[in-house]
Amino acid sequence: MTQDWIVVVLVGFAALYSVWYVLPAAARERLGRLHRALGRAPGCSTGCSSCAKCPEAAAPGSAPKAAVGDEQPITFHRKG
């Protein structure tokens, strides 16, 4: 029975975190009035490179640059 409650609490925290993560900035700002930590934006630990705030992130919409010599042609083969 104790394990069930532990799982319920962990899943609940995970659900709350996922909702907080996708909240718009205005909603997080309102939560920040309740507690300062709730108002902070999610960190760059996701590796999504969509915001271009990380130094190693590429510009949004640009393809990752391959090293010279890493190019490989795409070959299509017909079935049959």
CA distance 65 to 68: 9
| pLDDT tens digit sequence for 60-69 | 555 556 667 7
Residue 42: other Cβ atoms inside 10 A: 14
| pLDDT tens digit sequence for 30-55 | 888 887 777 777 665 555 555 555 55
Average pLDDT over all residues of the chain = 77
Residue 5 has pLDDT above 70, yes or no: yes
CA distance 57 to 47: 8
Residue 25 has pLDDT above 70, yes or no: yes
CA distance 10 to 17: 11
